[in-house]
Structure 1
Amino acid sequence: MPSVLPDGEPMPEDGALPRHALDGSGQRPLGFYLHVPYCATRCGYCDFNTYTASELRGSGGALASRDNYAETVAEEIRLARKVLGDDPRPVETVFVGGGTPTLLPAADLGRMIATIRDEFGLAEDAEVSTEANPESVDPRYLEELRAAGFNRVSFGMQSARQHVLKILDRTHTPGRPEACVAEARAAGFEHVNLDLIYGTPGESDDDWRASLDAVLGAAPDHVSAYALIVEEGTQLARRIRRGEVPMTDDDAHADRYLIAEETLSAAGFSWYEVSNWATSEAGRCRHNELYWRGADWWGAGPGAHSHVGGVRWWNVKHPGAYAQALSEGRSPGAGREVLSEEDRRVERILLELRLEEGCPLALLKPAGAAAAARALADGLLRAEAYEQGRAALTLRGRLLADAVVRDLVD
């Protein structure tokens, strides 16, 4: 969850949505995102809405504590049930993110899932995921997660090289994420992801290849690989500004992406979103696909964002303020916006173009359609998809995805 909230109109105290938000909801999947804002330490590159114990000390008191956090989130889930009324949809995906969700006891994470099950019901084939720090879990913890209903786990690996992890202020030891994959498999997890970051200052192509080789040796069925983004206000941004570490350039990012695509494809992974690869369709992250395709999700937790039927809203950031609102029977929403048809059209292009199947050419206005024709001629869009009425990126197009999107939304 990003640390800066957008502007918007005030959120009603009861969290009520405009009547039109649930029109046609039966044709849209429903998911839940549960944000756990606690971390043992703050990584130097992190700009998410997270808090260490020292940052919370004296700020929000007991309300900000993680001891009763599961029940606080359960209160918001019960609020969601009231707001969505008699919406009959079972929940198809749940994703617990952070922060570090696995700083909470596995029983607490399970309590949140049980509340969703009690209030909404879970689809028979529901995907229930959590992020995990490799150093915060062990075989018993993973077994408890599996028993609580989790069937997918995502470990933050970032790199296999110690000096790269040090720049990122990651505290796990190389080799631990790979061991976690084996422990998760032994606990009964069918789907396991490893997260990687490329383009860290001081990382070489060989370092990146070593990380990819370590991932393949661990044999997860999903890999996410993201270019490092240096956010203003982070410790890493300050270090780069002081000249302590070098900034990685765009050419290095492109080279690392091509290495990832070549290595992962050769090992049987297929890309299905610009930064995500899976060994099978079943291995894809269905929750993220729900975001990319503009379905409905309720985000519970401090700073969490939600979207239902073209209405988007976001919660207050601080855990104390979040808990206070719910304890007083108020929505923790800080603001919301009702998306116009044009907003939704643009967002569809922005998100769907990142997917392997691309976005419908019918979404494009004349200027965007002309840009798509140019992108096709320049080898940025796939000819066979274009002939079928879709704008879908080639490998070269994936390297220039942001620029392609800017042209197509005109």
Structure 2
Amino acid sequence: MAFGVYIHVPFCATRCGYCDFNTYTPTEVDSSYGQYLDSLERELALAEGPVADTVFIGGGTPSLLGDEGLARILTAVRESFGLASDAEVTTESNPESTSPEFFAGIREAGFTRVSLGMQSASTPILKVLDRTHTPGRAVEAAKEAKRAGFEHVNLDMIYGTPTETDDDVRRTLDHILSADVDHVSAYSLIVEDGTAMARKVRRGELPAPSEDTYADRYNIISSTLEDAGFGWYEVSNWAKAGGECQHNLIYWRGGRWWGAGPGAHSYVGNERFYNVKRPEKYNEMLAAGELPIQDREQLTEADEHMEKIMLGLRLKEGIPREWIGPGAESVLALHEEAGRVVVDKRVRVTNHGRLLADGIITDILAAE
């Protein structure tokens, strides 16, 4: 089984109204990028695990560290874990904090894949999301990455934003296809409690998203991408042949990884553990030579089984038939009869079943 390393960069220039990730703007933390990089190097020096098959730097906005900062992180990973000869090395980036020089620098450092946060090609929708980049910048950045030698480029989009129309979604898809990328991630907007957007919805300033709208938009996205040569391999992810994100497949296939950085989660052996969230505490613990772990959890066989079902059934490849317990036979038969799953040596959701994957998973686990 492949092993991954995840690096969390907790910094953002501004906070998006829908985001509840562990991120901080310059006014929220008294911590410099240099101090963070020093602490991260200390954590990686203390980390343990096999040679890394994948590295994924996420956030936050990793591109704020610049190409030199990201190269420094990758050097620290190499020195700690080592890298497989064919390792996939990805960084997320905000289009506004990238440039041709940035992409050239990280490509030279050994990065093989870039994931860009596009979200939408509609200026009003970007405003609702509190995104700062212009609609065309994500496409321009994707083309810059390809010119720098990146074969694998992903664009993220969000659908179901309050006030969004079908035409907004189609316009975003047109932009994505014009960028000639090989991977697209499309996520339905979740209005998380405690976010600025949740407060606006609660006050009636924005309409709440509807499940029917999500389904309609998903169908537009899926049919458009598949007509353009993308295949879905996970419910929210499409790729051209060979463009699948190998790091995320580690998560979905029940693999193991080490997560470094404030708030990062790890899964090593049968243990889950996660780091303290605040950068100040993170720096303090590592300066004292201590891993910045907040808490640990030993997973039982039942825990691991539940997660394998939850994650594996979101993949097009599905899961082995024998993973389904005997108590769920009748539920599985009902979903098969309704055309939501295919059952042979494996259990896989159908195209129709993709829209109902979470419900199918819940039904199976409850029946077991």
Instruction: Name the TM-score class by shorter chain.
Output: over 0.9
Q: Does residue 361 of structure 2 align to residue 392 of structure 1?
A: no
- In the other structure, the counterpart of 2:8 is 35
Using the size of structure 1 for normalisation, the TM-score is: 0.88
8 Å Cα contact 1:361-1:369 kept in structure 2:
no
Q: Report the AA paired with residue 19 of structure 2.
A: C
- In the other structure, the counterpart of 1:171 is 132
Q: Report the AA paired with residue 269 of structure 1.
A: F
CA distance in 1 between counterparts of 2:359 and 2:249 reads: 22
CA distance in 2 between counterparts of 1:396 and 1:43 reads: 32
8 Å Cα contact 1:127-1:152 kept in structure 2:
yes
Q: Does residue 295 of structure 2 align to residue 339 of structure 1?
A: no
8 Å Cα contact 1:71-1:112 kept in structure 2:
no
Which of 308, 319, 343 matches 1:348? Answer: 308
Aligned counterparts, 1:158-307, within 5 A = 158-280=119-241, 282-307=242-267
CA distance in 1 between counterparts of 2:38 and 2:247 reads: 23
Q: C-alpha root-mean-square deviation of aligned residues, in Å?
A: 0.9
Q: Report the AA paired with residue 171 of structure 1.
A: T
Which of 295, 313, 320 matches 1:360? Answer: 320
Q: Report the AA paired with residue 96 of structure 1.
A: I
CA distance in 2 between counterparts of 1:252 and 1:270 reads: 23
- In the other structure, the counterpart of 1:315 is 275
CA distance in 2 between counterparts of 1:330 and 1:38 reads: 22
Secondary structure of residue in 2 paired with 1:344: helix
8 Å Cα contact 1:314-1:336 kept in structure 2:
yes
CA distance in 2 between counterparts of 1:378 and 1:247 reads: 30
Counting matched residue pairs gives 366
8 Å Cα contact 2:35-2:283 kept in structure 1:
no
Q: Does residue 17 of structure 2 align to residue 44 of structure 1?
A: yes
Which of 59, 68, 87 matches 2:35? Answer: 68
Deviations 1:266-292 (A, max 9, x none): 000000000000011x21000000011
Q: Report the AA paired with residue 402 of structure 1.
A: D
Secondary structure of residue in 1 paired with 2:341: coil
Runs (4 or more) in structure 1 with deviation over 4 Å come to: none
Q: Report the AA paired with residue 247 of structure 2.
A: H
Secondary structure of residue in 2 paired with 1:67: helix
Gaps of 5+ in 1: 1-27
CA distance in 2 between counterparts of 1:157 and 1:272 reads: 20
CA distance in 1 between counterparts of 2:169 and 2:80 reads: 44
Which of 61, 65, 69 matches 1:104? Answer: 65
% of aligned pairs identical? Answer: 53
8 Å Cα contact 2:262-2:275 kept in structure 1:
yes
Q: Report the AA paired with residue 259 of structure 1.
A: I
Gaps of 5+ in 2: none
Using the size of structure 2 for normalisation, the TM-score is: 0.98
Which of 323, 335, 340 matches 1:380? Answer: 340
8 Å Cα contact 2:276-2:294 kept in structure 1:
yes
CA distance in 2 between counterparts of 1:368 and 1:264 reads: 34
Q: Report the AA paired with residue 37 of structure 2.
A: A
Q: Report the AA paired with residue 152 of structure 2.
A: H
